[in-house]
Chain A
Amino acid sequence: MAIDCLVLGAGQEIGKSCVVVTINNKKIMFDCGMHMGCDDHNRYPDFSILSKSGDFDKTISCVIITHFHMDHVGALPYFTEVCGYNGPVYMSYPTKALSPLMLEDYRRIMVDRRGEEELFTSAHIASCMNKVIPLDLKQTIQVDEDLQIRAYYAGHVLGAVMVYAKVGDAAIVYTGDYNMTTDRHLGAAKIDRLQLDLLISESTYATTTRGSKYPREREFLQAVHKCVAGGGKALIPSFALGRAQELCMLLDDYWERMNIKVPIYFSSGLTIQANMYYKMLISWTSQNVKEKHVTHNPFDFKNVKDFDRSLIHAPGPCVLFATPGMLCAGFSLEVFKHWAPSPLNLVALPGYSVAGTVGHKLMSGKPTTVDLYNGTKVDVRCKIHQVAFSPHTDAKGIMDLTKFLSPKNVVLVHGEKPSMMSLKDRITSELDIPCFVPANGETVSVASTTFIKTNASDMFLKSCSTPNFRFSNSSTQLRVTDDRTSDGVLVIEKSKKAKIVHQDEVSEVLHEKDHVVSLAYCCPVKVNEESDESGLIKQMSVKISETVSCADIHESETCLQVGSFKGSLCLKEMCVHRRGMSSSSSEVKFLCCNWSVADLELGWKIINAMKQNL
Chain B
Amino acid sequence: MELTCLSKGDGFHYPPCHMLNISGFRVLIDCPLDLLAITIFSPVPCDVGFEASAYPSEEDAQNPIQKKQKMERQMSFDDLVCVEPWYKTVKTLHLWEVSLIDIVLISNPMGLLGLPFLTQNPRFCAKIYMTEATAKIGQLMMEDLVSMHMEFRRLHGPEDSSFPCWTKNLDGEEVPSVLKNVVFNGDDLGSWMRLYSLDDIKSCMKKVQAVKFSEEVCYNGTLVIKALSSGLDIGACNWLINGPNGSLSYVSDSILVSHHAKSFDFHGLKGADVMIYSGFSCLQTASPTDSDYISTSSDENDESLAASLLDNEESLEELEKLAFVCSCAEESADAGGSTLITITRVGIVLQLLELMSNSLESSSLKVPIFVISSVAEELLAYANTIPEWLCEQRQEKLISGEPSFGHLQFIKDKKIHLFPAIHSPNLITSWQEPCILFAPHWSLRLGPSVQLLQRWREDPKSLLVLEDGISSGLGLLPFRPIAMKILQCSFRSGIRLQKLPSLLSLLKPKIVLVPDVVNQRINLSAIKTTSILNYSENKTLSLARIADNADVEIMAELATKLSWKKLRQRENFGIARLKGELVMENGKQRLVSGLDQEEDSGKTRPLRHWGSVAPETLLDALMKMSVTGSIEHSIGENGSEDKSIIHLTNPSSGMVETSEMCTTIITDDETVASKIFQAIDGILDGI
Contacts and interface: CB of A to CB of B under 8 A. Distances in A.
Contacts of B661: 513-516
Nearest to A513: B610
A369 interface: no
Interface of B: 211-216, 226, 267-268, 377-378, 381-382, 384-388, 395, 398-399, 401, 403-404, 548-557, 559, 562, 567, 569-570, 572-582, 589-591, 594, 596, 599-600, 605-613, 652-655, 660-668, 670, 673-674, 677, 680-681, 684-685, 687
Contact of B575 (A457, A485, A491, A515): A491
A541 B384 CA distance: 81
A358 to B, nearest CB: 31
9 contacts: A129-B399, A281-B387, A294-B378, A458-B549, A461-B550, A500-B554, A514-B608, A521-B667, A579-B668
Interface string A530-573: 00000000000000000000000000000000000000000000
Interface in A509-524: 510, 512-521, 523
A96 to B, nearest CB: 6
Nearest to B244: A461
A500 B687 CA distance: 13
Contacts of B404: 280
A70 B136 CA distance: 35
A521 B655 CA distance: 10
Given A280-B398, A515-B613, A136 B213 contact: yes
A66 interface: no
Interface in A579-612: 579-580, 594, 597-598, 600, 604, 607
Contacts of B677: 517, 597, 600
Contacts of A378: none
A486 B577 contact: yes
A137 to B, nearest CB: 6
Given A456-B550, A510-B573, A277 B401 contact: yes
Contact of A513 (B398, B599, B660): B660
A451 B553 contact: yes
A484 B582 contact: yes
Given A451-B590, A519-B664, 19 more contacts: A97-B399, A138-B211, A141-B214, A279-B385, A280-B398, A294-B382, A453-B551, A454-B551, A461-B589, A485-B578, A485-B582, A485-B591, A489-B576, A490-B576, A510-B573, A516-B663, A517-B609, A580-B653, A604-B673
Contacts of B398: 93, 97, 277, 280-281
Contact of B608 (A139, A140, A506, A519): A506
Contacts of B573: 491-494, 510
Contact of B607 (A96, A597, A604): A597
Contacts of A281: 385, 387, 398
A514 B687 CA distance: 11
Nearest to A512: B610
B664 A454 contact: no
A597 B605 contact: yes
B663 A450 contact: no
Contacts of A123: none
B381 A454 contact: no
Interface string A254-289: 000000000000000000010011011111000000
A518 B665 contact: yes
B215 A140 contact: yes
B553 A453 contact: yes
Contacts of B268: 142
Nearest to B384: A280
A499 B212 CA distance: 37
Interface string A461-494: 1001000000000100001011111111111111
Contacts, number: 240
A576 interface: yes
**Complex A-B, nearest 10 residue pairs according to Cβ-Cβ distance, in ascending order:** A451-B553, A455-B549, A512-B610, A488-B578, A507-B610, A450-B556, A138-B215, A456-B552, A516-B662, A494-B572
B390 to A, nearest CB: 10
A49 interface: no
Contact of B554 (A137, A451, A513): A451
A311 interface: no
Contacts of A464: 582
Contacts of B382: 294
Contacts of A510: 567, 570, 573, 575, 610, 685
Contacts of A273: 401
A540 B334 CA distance: 108
Contacts of B552: 454-456, 461, 500
Nearest to B403: A280
Contacts of B212: 136-139
B401 A452 contact: no
B152 to A, nearest CB: 26
Given A451-B556, A517-B680, A580-B668, A483 B600 contact: yes
Contacts of B580: 485
A277 B401 CA distance: 6
B553 A598 contact: no
A455 B576 CA distance: 15
Contact of B574 (A139, A492, A594): A492
B214 A139 contact: yes
Nearest to A138: B215
Contacts of A51: none
Interface in A144-199: 169
A55 interface: no
A113 interface: no
Contacts of A441: none
Contacts of B570: 510
A316 interface: no
Contacts of A452: 553-556, 559
Interface string A430-458: 00000000000000000001111111111
Among B268, B579, B591, chain A packs the most CB atoms within 10 A around the CB of B591
Contacts of B606: 597
B610 A506 contact: yes
Contact of A490 (B578, B589, B599): B578
Contacts of A131: none
A577 interface: yes
A489 B554 contact: no
Nearest to B673: A519
A280 B554 contact: no
A504 interface: yes
A514 B381 contact: no
Given A519-B664, A576-B666, A493 B572 contact: yes
A83 to B, nearest CB: 23
B577 A488 contact: yes
A514 B681 CA distance: 13
A490 B399 contact: no
Given A455-B549, A490-B554, A520 B666 contact: yes
A479 B664 CA distance: 34
Nearest to A491: B575
B559 A490 contact: yes
B349 to A, nearest CB: 18
A503 interface: yes
Contacts of B401: 97, 273, 276-277
Given A283-B386, A598-B607, A515 B662 contact: yes
A367 interface: no
Contacts of A139: 212-215
A293 interface: yes
Given A490-B575, A514-B610, A449 B589 contact: no
Contacts of B381: 293-294
B609 A514 contact: yes
B502 to A, nearest CB: 23
Contacts of A474: 599
A93 B388 contact: yes
Nearest to B685: A512
Contact of A515 (B403, B551, B579, B663): B663
Among A141, A513, A521, A604, chain B packs the most CB atoms within 10 A around the CB of A521
Contacts of A294: 377-378, 381-382
